[in-house]
Amino acid sequence: MQSLFHSLKNWLKQNPVWIAAIIWIVVFGLIRVVRHYIFKTSALDLSLFDYAIANTLEGTLLYQHFYWDQSFLALHFSPILFLIVPFYLIYNDPITLILLQVVCVGLSAVPFYYIAQWKLGDAKIALLLAVSYLLYRKLSTAVMYDFHMETMEPLFIFSAFYFLVRKKYPFYFLFFALALCVKEDVSLYMVPFGIFVFWILKEKKIGAATIAISILWFVVAKNLMTSDWLSNTKDVFYFSSSGIYGGYGNSFSAMVTAFLTQPGKVFAEVFNPLSAKTFFNMLGCLLFIPLASPSAFFPTLLPFFANFVSGSSLQKGLGLYYSSPILPFLFIALVYGLANLRRRYFADNRKALFILCCSILIINLANSSLWQLLRPSRIAVTGHHVRGHEIIKTIPPESSVSAQAVLLPHIERRKEIFVFPEKALEADFVFLDAKSNQWSPSHHDYQNSLDQLKTGKQHELLIDEDGFLFFRKKL
C-alpha cells in the first residue's frame, strides 16, 4: 500500500495537471450541485436532455415530449447522448448530467496541458497555460449553464489533436469521431481544422480524410434531422422563422446563397458591436497571442463566424455554451502563438516566456467568474429552497403539472408535464416561485396566465407562502 501511494505521489508530481483538473472538478461540481438545489437550473435546457436520455432507457430514442414532442436528434444530431445513457443506469437523475458536464470540461485541461508541453517543451509553462484555461471566463460560463453536449467538444478536440501530433492515429480518429457525434455543426468546424492538418502539419492523408469525413458527416446528419424517422417537420430549426439563422432563408443552401449575395448584411452582423466586443475580450484575456500564429488561428474563424452572423445576441456574445467549439482551437492557437514568439524574439530567454505565461494566468485569475460564484449569496441554501422541495414532494406522480421552468427539473418525471404557462388551465397542479427566475415566458405572459389562474374557477390556491404559489385543479 505504501509503495502504491509513493508511486501515485511521483506520478502526480510528474503530471501536475491532474491535480489542477481534480480540484477544478470538485469545486465546480459542488457549486453546480448546490445551485441546482436552489433552483438555478431550468427545464430549458436541463430537463430537455434529462427527459430525452431517461426516455431512451424506456425504448424511445432521445424522445422528449414536454417541449418539441419528437426525438432530440431532429433538433440537433447528437448521437454522443447515447453514451450518456449508461450513466443513467447508475443514477437516473438530472444531477448525473450536471456532474458529467463538469467532469468533461475539467478533464479537457489534461490533453491541452500535454499539447502545450509537447509544443513548448516546458512542463511548468504548460501547467500555467492549463490553469489559465481552467480559469478562462468563457469556459466557466459554459459549465455553469444547465447541460449542453457542446461542452464536451474541447475534451474531444484537444484529445484528437494531441494524439495526432503524437502520431497515434487510431486514437486521433476515435476522438475525432466523438467530436463529430457531439453536434452536427462540429463537422463544419473540423473542415478548416483538416486544412490546418493537411497544410501546416503536413499530415496530408489525415488532413484529407478529416475534411472528407467531416463534409460527409454534415450531409448525412442534415438529411437524418429532417427524415420521417426522426422529425415530424421537414424544416431544420435553425432556418425556421424563430430560428437563429431564419433571417437568411429557410434552408442551409438558402443561407449560403444569402451570405454570397448579401455581403453588406453579413458584414453588419459579423462586425456588430457586441460581436466585436466579445472577440476583443476573448483574445485580450490571452494577450492576443493566438494571432501570432495565423495558421493555427485559422480554424477558429468558422465557429466565430457562425456565432457572430446569427440573429441571436447570446451567440454574438458567445454566452452560455456557445464558445465551446471555439475554445479548443483558440487555445491551440495560443500555444502555437507562444512558440512563434519564442522563436522570433526570445529563443534563449525562457524567463521571458515564463513571465508572459504568468501574465496570462494573472489576467484570467482576475477575470474568472469563480469569485462571483463563490459569494455566499450565490450558493446559500435557505428555508425558501427547503420549503420548495417539500412542496414538490406532495405532487402525486400520476398527476399532470405545469411548473415554472426552474422548478420543473426537480419534479418527478411524468408524461404530462409542461413549462408554465403551457397547459396551466388544464393541468392538475400548477407550481410557481415568484422569487426565482421566471424565464422562459415573458413577464407579461407569466402575469397574464397567473391572473387567469387566480380569477378562474378551475383551480384552487393551496399554498401562498414565501413567494410559492401552488394550485390544484378543483375536483
DSSP assignment of 293-329: -HHHHGGGHHHHHHHHTSS-HHHHTT-TTTTTTTHHH
Cβ of 374: how many Cβ atoms within 10 Å?
11
Can you give the pLDDT at residue 230?
58
Closest CA to 326 of 148, 144, 189: 189
**What does the buried/exposed string (b/e) look like for 259-296 if buried means 16 or more CB atoms within 10 Å of the residue's CB?**
eeeeeeebeebbebeebeebbeebbebbbebbebbeeb
Cα 375 to Cα 30, 102, 226, 362, 380: the distances in Å are 13, 19, 45, 20, 9
The number of helices, as runs of H, and strands, as runs of E, in the chain is 24, 7
Which residue carries 453579413 as its cell?
A: 266
Closest CA to 108 of 44, 189, 25, 174: 25
DSSP 413: P
Q: What is the pLDDT of residues 209-239, one digit of tens each?
A: 999 999 999 999 988 876 665 555 545 545 4
- Are 430 and 422 within 8 A, CB to CB? no
Q: What is the pLDDT of residues 261-280, one digit of tens each?
A: 989 989 998 999 999 999 99
Cβ of 366: how many Cβ atoms within 10 Å?
10
Can you give the pLDDT at residue 242?
46
Residues facing residue 419 across a β-bridge: 403
DSSP 84: T
User: From start to end of 412-454, where are the E strands?
Assistant: 417-419, 429-433
Cβ of 87: how many Cβ atoms within 10 Å?
14
Can you give the pLDDT at residue 440?
63
Closest CA to 365 of 154, 135, 178: 135
The overall pTM is greater than 0.85? yes
Which residues does the chain have with pLDDT short of 70? 1, 6, 66, 226-243, 246, 440-442
**What does the buried/exposed string (b/e) look like for 304-334 if buried means 16 or more CB atoms within 10 Å of the residue's CB?**
bebbbbbeeeebbbbbbbbbbbbbbbbbbbb
| Those residues with Cβ within 8 angstroms of residue 55's Cβ, 6 or more apart along the chain or in another chain | 62, 63, 64, 65
Q: Is the dihedral of CA 36, 42, 46, 51 positive or negative?
A: positive
Can you give the pLDDT at residue 259?
87
DSSP 412: P
Can you give the pLDDT at residue 243?
61
Q: Cell for 67?
A: 417541449
Residue ranges of domains in the chain: 2-234+271-373, 383-473
Alpha helices in 38-108 (DSSP H): 48-57, 85-90, 94-107
